[in-house]
Homo-oligomer: A and B are copies of this chain.
Amino acid sequence: MTALATGTGGVGSCFISQLTWLSKNLPSTRLSLCYISMIDKALYRPDYAEIDFDTALFTLEATGVEPPPISTIVEYLAAAPHNVILVDNTSAISLAEAYPAFLRRGISIITPNKKAFSGSYQLWQEIFSSATSGGSYFYHESSVGAGLPIISTLKDLVQTGDEITRIEGVFSGTMSHLFNKFAPTSGSGGKWSNIVREAKELGFTEPDPRDDLNGLDVARKLTILGRLAGLPIESPASFPVESLIPAALENVANADEFLRSLSKYDNEMEEKKLAAERSGKVVRFVGSVDMLGKKAKVGLEWVDQTNPIANLKGSDNIISFYTKRYGDMPLSIRGAGAGGPVTAMGVTGDLLKVLCQLR
């Protein structure tokens, strides 16, 4: 029997429904739920009584109490009579920073949250040492590319002794969508500010599109992959990240005002697109880690029309690993890198991996 603690929300609620599926279809997993919380409510019992998967969200909403401080959650979970896995489906930095405290007490962690793994290098090292001392596990497949097998593949390459020479790709579904529309390989594409506005209206961007356009999300993902490949990247702020927010619009009050003003910069973006086209290329928002030169960067790049990066569709991500064994032709993984069900799938896949090891 393994007890779970989890958050709710977009990914969290998909995860709960996948747990329900697991408990019916893979009963040998023997999972129970002993703690569940949302931003202002938590559900847990001193006797660790099982919370029913099917009705967890409803019961939490109806009978939840104020969430306890994190230190209390650590003590509660550490004293449970079973193995415990904390499934952090929140994006709370306070919880992310407490991972070492959980891991040291033998509580394994699974999360799609990028924050802990792309924070300071010191936190990264503490996570590893705490898991070792606590005999616990941590998995975060969905922190890059959602359910795509990016992190597990990179770990396999490294742990079997391959040498990563370069990692590159399109790591943001939003950026993929914007540039596939703005600079398609055939046809002329649309106006930059229109495409950004439409993407926001369709729900393809963050509530404020600047949170996508600043490139930080891509920088965080690249930090995680670079570190796993062996480069001690200090933080997502320690390498060049090109922001697509015009300097004058960085501090405008809100998303609406930003979107109204963005059209003034359409000519500038159009010129970047045409410059690439004059060289027979297309412009894309690319992240890369050059392992040999020990450098990471994020920003606009000119890409050959035949490069798979140029030929993405929709909001697809693509991540390519160049390695010594694979030579000139990379191992590439492509597909949706965002969305509740596929992100939750990465979390559930990690759960099955931890369960195999906790038995």
Residues on A facing B (Cβ under 8 Å): 18, 21-22, 25-26, 147-149, 152-153, 156-157, 159-162, 306, 308, 311, 313-314, 316, 325-327, 329-336, 339, 341-342, 345, 348-349, 352, 356-357, 359
Contact = CB atoms under 8 A, between A and B. Distances in A.
Nearest to A324: B341
Contact of A345 (B306, B325, B356, B359): B325
A349 B159 CA distance: 8
14 contacts: A147-B325, A156-B352, A160-B345, A308-B311, A313-B329, A325-B341, A325-B342, A325-B345, A326-B335, A327-B336, A329-B336, A331-B335, A331-B336, A333-B334
A334 B336 contact: no
A331 B329 contact: no
Nearest to A347: B160
A160 B326 contact: no
A314 B329 contact: yes
Given A329-B335, A336-B329, A26 B345 contact: no
A306 B316 contact: no
B345 A18 contact: no
Contacts of A153: 149
Nearest to A26: B159
Secondary structure call for the A interface: mixed
Contact of A330 (B327, B335, B345): B335
Contacts of A311: 306, 308, 311
Most buried by B among A21, A152, A334, A352: A334
B308 A160 contact: no
B18 A161 contact: yes
Contact of A160 (B157, B316, B348): B348
B326 A336 contact: yes
A308 to B, nearest CB: 7
